[in-house]
A and B are shown apart, each in its own frame.
Chain A
């Protein structure tokens, strides 16, 4: 398969955002994934979220590992720089990129094999360092690109297309992210765009390590009876704890809920997340309670989705390292090199 350019055609009546860009300006090349693949819906949600937030496309850097999911950055944000790195190692590449320029928005896209199998270590360490990013795992419980082997997030007891039953315990990336200090944690479903788009928006605006585990069925290898990641299974077991609207800083608040039905949470950048509670007792600010709640509901066979945890005052890696505000990649020679004048002093101190 070679690259397919998309016909450049713009309808004059397409709505434009605050920057004057239309939704088309956030699109990428034509997807080469299987028709119906959940990953394509996530790409569409990313495009929608960036468009609605009026993010300048060139100020977003999109990075991924290897897999069908990791291919998707080619299919959105064509005007952004992208980096398809190596299998399971996107987190370190993204961390380095972020160190070099703290002023861009970093979007990491990965798969469940990429993040929970080969890349579990890098996933964990990027989260615990508080890298300012939105990290999305497009979780289909299977290796799509290598044709259907179980991944480390496949549920115990779930059946492969060939009829093999998985006997290993699954890795719960949400639980890990919570324990490792992610400051924005959400789960969603590629089939629920209304929930996913605002979650992506809020995650992009978040100033620390934001993580979304997005269940994304693989129509080729994991959408059959007996799979716990099929469209039907996820629809039947999806339990959203909340719904949200995201109002960017200085944006207009349009959604209205009856008093007591919703809470507003202000993020560090000034944006507001308006949360409409679905599970009345769910508190997004209580990490420990979230862990317990999620495990209880999982035992009951539910797939809990929504915004699961949020710390409005995240401390990111740059804050921890105390780096200067100016991006390191923009420092001048004089700011980097002590110069010839210091050399004499250094030599003198070494005699």
Chain B
């Protein structure tokens, strides 16, 4: 007999499915049922872009302690795709469990001796109960959720409630789904040893947190932030952001009387056109954005330089994936940091925001538009596949009722009449941000010509060196203003004084939280700083200066954030030790702990600097 893994509210389940088999909603039901029992659960969609066998995986980490990062390893595999069987079986931890459809006998060689096999004749049961092939397929998913509920002690009442919510409005579907659920559950209770060594037990560990996807949250942020024009070109993992925007707009931006929309969404012919439309709309005073991923950013380079130099607000949601080229199109990376920060030819710098989770996707999704209008420049919201395309437990969304959209320095007709002078590129306030006018404002005042060519302060074409330098220096002053307005980095001090620090950003957050706890338990202490924006506020340089050794954890090969920090803050590269995960799998606490503990071994005992008196 193999050993049996024992754990309550602390294990990983991985579903291996065939795409299009209707498994997605069943798997989501599984995850939500655990959340409704008050236990944190974090799902991850894994969907290779290789279509053969149409494999998809859905991994759920259940963690009472609330660790939402990927853990690594699988304790229970739900192997529903024969094409990926071998690798799915191989991944299971010794003593773990393999759940499979036992309708057809399988040779012993297909199993492992050191794991526990749980067979349920799903196909047989469904064929017996349903005659319609599509029903057989769909209900099979609910049947396995039923069986798993018995094996893991998931409360049936919770699942029934979720089913009735899911099919609200299509009430006819509730009863058959509940029936299929109980069919699986009853079979397991009668025929299998329930529960397994791993199980779920009700807790109160969720609080008021919500569960949503980053792309949808960012799109909702765009709605709240007042975006009315969206131009996009489909690319994984960003498409669902534009699609969510359309959904949200249909709901919140449809005129009740006429049925017409207070928004315009255009699926452009490519990313050049997407960003071109965004720039045109923003020039003309509408809040506009595009959603894309690395390859799209590459195509937008020339236009981004125009927007920087001609000072046009524009918002770009970059949902990052593995590059270069088509790289790993369905895997996670943080590898567009430099291509966005310095997008385009010539001397350019752009404002980047790095959300850590869907809640921050919402917040930054809205704030990006205020920043774009205020700073009159492109703003990049740097999502990642990991947070964009996965549902994540996070703090509830918040919106200050007193909040107004900050339209920045736009002069109205009355302003123009009252003003002594209007010069499009005059730095009136010393913050580097000039005033602009929108086309059509005033019959005789405030018109100017927007161009990518050098111009003087009055927006007149110029080929004079001093005009060019004057303008480029003002753009630097404006960038310094951006550093004051962009979200500051967030510190998480160690529980005792330390000379070691770690910097991280974006989707690394949950893995880092867990890693810091683990390191603390092992008596390794680090102050942590989560960077939320570029340009960096003074807190970043101060943090580095305050520590003898600083790790920078990121998810790309070339330590791009480190390069940005070294370059922009003039830091000695030797001061920042890169910790890099770039295989496309989300970074884990295990990885961070090992990388940091290995490098710090001994260092904490005898800090190098103080070794010599």
Contact = CB atoms under 8 A, between A and B. Distances in A.
Interface in A337-351: 337-343, 346-347, 350-351
B261 A81 contact: no
Contacts of A343: 396-399
A101 B285 contact: yes
Nearest to B303: A86
A77 B311 CA distance: 22
B280 A83 contact: yes
B20 interface: no
Contacts of B224: 337-338
Interface in A249-269: none
B463 A2 contact: yes
Interface in A66-80: 73-74, 78-80
B interface: dominant SS: loop
Contacts of A61: 284, 439-440
Interface string B134-145: 000000000000
Interface of A: 1-3, 56-59, 61, 63, 73-74, 78-86, 89, 91-101, 103-104, 121-122, 125, 129, 317-318, 321-326, 328-329, 331, 333, 335-343, 346-347, 350-351
Contact of B264 (A74, A82, A125, A321): A321
Interface stretch (B7-15, B449-457, B542-550): B449-457
24 contacts: A3-B456, A78-B447, A84-B449, A84-B453, A86-B306, A89-B272, A89-B276, A92-B280, A93-B276, A95-B266, A96-B288, A97-B281, A99-B281, A323-B261, A326-B262, A328-B286, A333-B404, A333-B405, A335-B262, A336-B228, A336-B405, A343-B397, A350-B211, A350-B212
B443 A340 contact: no
A134 B183 CA distance: 66
B292 to A, nearest CB: 14
Contacts of A57: 443, 447
B273 A122 contact: yes
B602 interface: no
* 6 tightest Cβ-Cβ pairs between the two chains A and B: A96-B280, A92-B276, A100-B286, A96-B277, A81-B439, A329-B285
A102 B180 CA distance: 54
By size class, the interface of chain B is 35 or more
A85 B452 contact: yes
Given A57-B443, A100-B283, 19 more contacts: A57-B447, A58-B439, A58-B440, A58-B443, A73-B449, A81-B439, A85-B276, A86-B303, A89-B303, A93-B279, A95-B280, A96-B288, A99-B229, A324-B261, A325-B258, A328-B281, A329-B284, A329-B285, A339-B399
A97 B451 contact: no
B272 A342 contact: no
- Most chain B CB within a 10 A radius of its CB, from A2, A89, A93, A323: A93
Interface string B289-304: 0000000000000110
A324 B229 contact: no
- Most chain A CB within a 10 A radius of its CB, from B229, B302, B403: B229
Contacts of A80: 439, 447
A61 B280 CA distance: 11
Contact of B462 (A2, A96, A125, A341): A2
A347 B278 CA distance: 30
A292 to B, nearest CB: 28
Contact of B273 (A92, A321, A324): A92
A328 B449 contact: no
